[in-house]
Structure 1
Amino acid sequence: MKKPDYIPRWAETALLGEIENSPVVMLLGARQVGKTTLLRNCLAAKGWTYMTADDPDQMVALAADPKAILRGAGDVILDEFQHMPDGIDKVVKLLVDNGERVRFVLTGSSTSGMLRSLGDSMAGRSSIVSMYPPAPAEWPEKTDWTKGMLPRVRQGYRKEEAWLSFWKGYEVAIVQKDIPAVSDIRNTAEIYRLCRLLADRAGCRINFQDMARDMGGVALTTVKRWVNALEAVGVVELLPPWVNASSRFRKSPKLYFFDPGFASYLGNTDGGSLFENAAFTTLRAWSSLKPGTTLFWYLDRNNREIDFILQGRESNIGFEAKNTPTVNSVHAKNLIQARREGLISEGYVLFNGEGRHQLSEGIFALGLGSLTP
C-alpha cells in the first residue's frame, strides 16, 4: 500500500507499463530525484523484494551467493545497482536468459557504465525509464524553483543555512562517490572547481577550449572527460543543436544542470539562466513520456535562436523560456517565424507562472506550472 503522503510522479505510469513488457527495467536518474520513493510505494508495496547497495547485510549475502538469492526472491528491485558487488549484472542476465520467472528493476545514475553495459548485452529484453526532478505540475504546492526542484528541497530547507548544507552534501556525494563509480577520475579539487565554472555557463553554448583555459591550462581532452563524467552521473546534460536542411550546422551543444537549484548553489545568480534551466528540466521530464521524440536547441544562419525544439516522428514543437509572469507575441517572434517556415508545427512560450493563452496561430503562452503530460 502506498504511503498517505506519497506524491505520484509522471515516471510511475511509464514504469508500470515497462515492467509488463520487459524482464529488466532500468530506472535512471540523478541521486535523490525520487527513484527509491517511487519504487517503495509502487512495487515494494505490492510484494516486490527490495534490495539496496546501502544495506551492508544484503550486499554481503549477494556477494556470497547472488544466483541463489536472486532466483528465490521473486520480482526484485536492485537499488543503486552500480554500487552492488561485481558480477551481479551477469547473474541478472543469466536468470533472464534461462527464462526464470523473475523481473528486475535496477536503479542508478543516468548513464553509469554498468547499466549501459547491461543494457547493451540485453537488447530487446530490457528497457529504460528516465526520471527527473519533479516538474512544477507534479508537485502539489508552489515552491521556489531557484532553490531546487528535488523533492527533499521542496519539502524543507526554508532556511538558507539548511539549504546550503543540503547542496554541499549533495556535491560531496557526487564528487566522492558517484563519479568514482563510473570513471577513474580522482582529482576531486578540480571537479569541484569545474562544477562552479559550469554553473556560470548553464543554458549557454559550451566551448571546451574556453573551459580548458579557464581551468588554468588543463588539457582539452581532460576537461571533456570530466564533463562527460558529470553527465554520466546525471548532474549536467549537453543538449545538441538541431540540424535540418536549411540550418547552418553548429557543433557546440548547450549545457544544462539537472536541477537549477544546484546551479544556484554553485554560484549562478542569473534569473533568466536559472529559469531556462528549470524549463529544460521540466521539458526533459515531459518529453521522456513521449516515445520517439528528441530534445534539441536551434540557431539559424541569421542567429535566430529557439531555446528548445522537440523533434517528433511527424512534427516538431518549439519552446522559448521567458522568466517573466506574463508574455506577449513579441516574446514569440522567433517561434512565429519558425512556424511560418515550416520548421515547427506549434510553439510555446514558457513563462514563470500558470495558465495558457494563444499568441498567434499555432503559438501559445504556457505557464511552466501548467505543462502536463
Structure 2
Amino acid sequence: MIPRLLTAKIRSALEKRPAVALLGPRQVGKTTLAREIADDRPSVYLDLERPADLARLDDPDLYFSENADKLIVLDEVQRMPGLFQTLRSRIDLNRREGRRTGQFLLLGSASNELLNQSAESLAGRISYLELPPLNLLEVGPDHLNQLWVGGGFPDAYLDEADSFEWRMDFIRTYLERDIPALGSRIPAETLRRFWTMLAHNQSQLFNASQIGGALEVKGQTASRYLDLLVDLLLVRRLQPWASNVGKRLVKSPKTYIRDSGLTHALLGLHDLDDILGHPVVGGSWEGFVIENLIAAAPAGAEAFFYRTSAGAEIDLLLKFDKELWAIEVKRTTAPTLKKGFHVACEDVNPTAKWLVYAGEETYPVRNDVTVIPLAELMNRLSDS
C-alpha cells in the first residue's frame, strides 16, 4: 500500500477531537486508510451501505455505549442523517466520563451533505479532513507522467494495463448508481455530457448559460449540475481572488475535474501521446498541478486564481498563514512568463512568485520569480 500523507494528520486530529470526518470521493482510499488507523487501537468498523452493519445500529445509543472504549469507524455516514444527534449525545456523555478524544472516525463521499448534517450537531466536537487521490509526493516524482495520465485513484494508478477501463467503469458507476442513490433525478446521459463538457473546458471560466444552452437546459440548471459534482469532490470550483485592488476583476469561477485520469477518460485519451496531441493538454496539466499543490499545502490554506478584464492573470494564488504565493503553470521545459503575470503580481503583491514547469531544475528568473518542478514546490509547501 502506498503511504498517504494524510495519515499523520488524521491520527493527530483524533488526539485532539472526539470525532474526525474524512471526506473524499468513492474509491479514493478512505476505507483502506481508516482501517490502517483503526488497526493500531481497539476499534470497530461499520459500512452503512451494508444491511448487516445497519442492523447493528437499530439502537445506535446502545451500540455506541457497548463500544465506548473503542474507535468507531462509520463509513458513508451521510446515509444516516439521524445519527448525528446520537453521536453528539454519546460524545458529551463520554466527556463527562473522562474520555474526550478519538471516539469516532466518520467517512463520507458527499461533502456538503455530510458537512451540513454534522455542522450543527457536532460543532466544536469534530475536525474535517479531505483525502484526495494519490499525489506526486506519495508516488514519487519519477512517476509523474504515470500519475498525470492515469490519475490518482489507487486502483487506476496501480494497474496501468486496466487503468482506462477502470476509470470508465468508475464514471459509469457514479452516473448510474451512486448519484441516483443520493436522490438526484438528473438523467445519467445528461450528466455525462455535462461532465464531458467540463473536461473539454478544463481550467476555463465556467459559463453556465453557454453550457446550459448546449445541454438545452437553463443556466441555473447547469449551475446545479456543477454544484452536485463539486459536492461529490469530483470537480473543483476555483474562485477568483476578490480583494479590492481597484481593477475590474473576473467574477466567474474556473472549473477543474479534480482527477486528471478522469479528465482523460471522459475525453477518450488513453495514453501520453493522445494527451500531448489534444487541445486539452495545457488545461489538463494546469489542473493536475493545482490539485497536487493544494494537496501539499498547509491545513487551512485557501486557493484562488486572479484575472482582470485587461488580461492580468495568475493561475493559482495560495493563501496560508501570512503567506500569499502566486503560481503560474506551464507545460514546457523552457517556460516564459507573459506580461500579464507580472502585472497581476503588482496588483496582489504576493510574498513569493513561482513558475511550475515540466523540467527538473530550480532556478531564478527576473522579477523575483523562481522556476521550479512540481515535486520541489510541493515539498516546500508541505514543509511550510
The question of a shared fold, defined as TM-score above 0.5 by the shorter chain, is answered with yes
Tell me how far apart the structure 1 counterparts of residues 36 and 294 of structure 2 sit (CA, whole Å): 23
State the 1:307 CA deviation.
0.5
- Which residue in 2 is equivalent to 1:59? 54
Closer/same/farther in 2, CA of residues 28 and 42 from structure 1, 3 Å limit: same
- Is 2:6 the partner of 1:11? yes
Tell me how far apart the structure 1 counterparts of residues 93 and 41 of structure 2 sit (CA, whole Å): 25
State the 1:271 CA deviation.
1.3
Tell me how far apart the structure 2 counterparts of residues 115 and 245 of structure 1 sit (CA, whole Å): 30
Deviations 1:302-357 (A, max 9, x none): 21211100123423101111112343xx2375544444555211111111244422
Closer/same/farther in 2, CA of residues 97 and 332 from structure 1, 3 Å limit: farther
- Which residue in 2 is equivalent to 1:239? 238
Partner residue of 2:84 out of 89, 98, 109: 89
Closer/same/farther in 2, CA of residues 42 and 357 from structure 1, 3 Å limit: farther
- Which residue in 2 is equivalent to 1:300? 308
- Which residue in 2 is equivalent to 1:71? 65
Matches within 5 A, 1:26-37: 26-37=21-32
Deviations 1:182-223 (A, max 9, x none): 4433422211111111111110000000011110x2122221
- Is 2:223 the partner of 1:224? yes
Are the counterparts in 2 of residues 108 and 115 from structure 1 also a CA contact under 8 Å? no
State the 1:174 CA deviation.
1.9
Indicate the SS of the match to 2:202. coil
Give the RMSD, CA atoms, in angstroms. 2.2
Name stretches of at least 5 consecutive residues in structure 2 with no aligned partner.
270-277
Are the counterparts in 2 of residues 22 and 126 from structure 1 also a CA contact under 8 Å? yes
State the 1:129 CA deviation.
0.7
State the 1:169 CA deviation.
1.7
State the 1:180 CA deviation.
3.2
- Which residue in 2 is equivalent to 1:3? none
Are the counterparts in 1 of residues 78 and 117 from structure 2 also a CA contact under 8 Å? no
| More off after superposition, 267-276 vs 197-206 | 267-276
Indicate the SS of the match to 2:249. coil
Closer/same/farther in 2, CA of residues 8 and 52 from structure 1, 3 Å limit: same
AA aligned opposite 1:345: T
- Which residue in 1 is equivalent to 2:275? none
- Is 2:154 the partner of 1:151? yes
| More off after superposition, 261-270 vs 198-207 | 261-270
Matches within 5 A, 1:204-353: 204-215=204-215, 217-246=216-245, 247-267=247-267, 269=278, 270-287=280-297, 289-291=298-300, 293-327=301-335, 330-331=336-337, 334-341=340-347, 343-353=349-359
Tell me how far apart the structure 2 counterparts of residues 65 and 173 of structure 1 sit (CA, whole Å): 32
Indicate the SS of the match to 1:365. strand
Are the counterparts in 1 of residues 326 and 350 from structure 2 also a CA contact under 8 Å? yes
- Which residue in 2 is equivalent to 1:184? 184
Tell me how far apart the structure 1 counterparts of residues 262 and 282 of structure 2 sit (CA, whole Å): 15
- Is 2:38 the partner of 1:48? no
Name stretches of at least 5 consecutive residues in structure 1 with no aligned partner.
1-5
| More off after superposition, 104-113 vs 47-56 | 47-56
Closer/same/farther in 2, CA of residues 251 and 87 from structure 1, 3 Å limit: same
Indicate the SS of the match to 2:54. helix
Tell me how far apart the structure 1 counterparts of residues 200 and 81 of structure 2 sit (CA, whole Å): 38
- Which residue in 1 is equivalent to 2:76? 80
TM-score, length-normalised on structure 2? 0.86
State the 1:171 CA deviation.
1.0
AA aligned opposite 1:164: F
Are the counterparts in 2 of residues 320 and 332 from structure 1 also a CA contact under 8 Å? no
TM-score, length-normalised on structure 1? 0.88
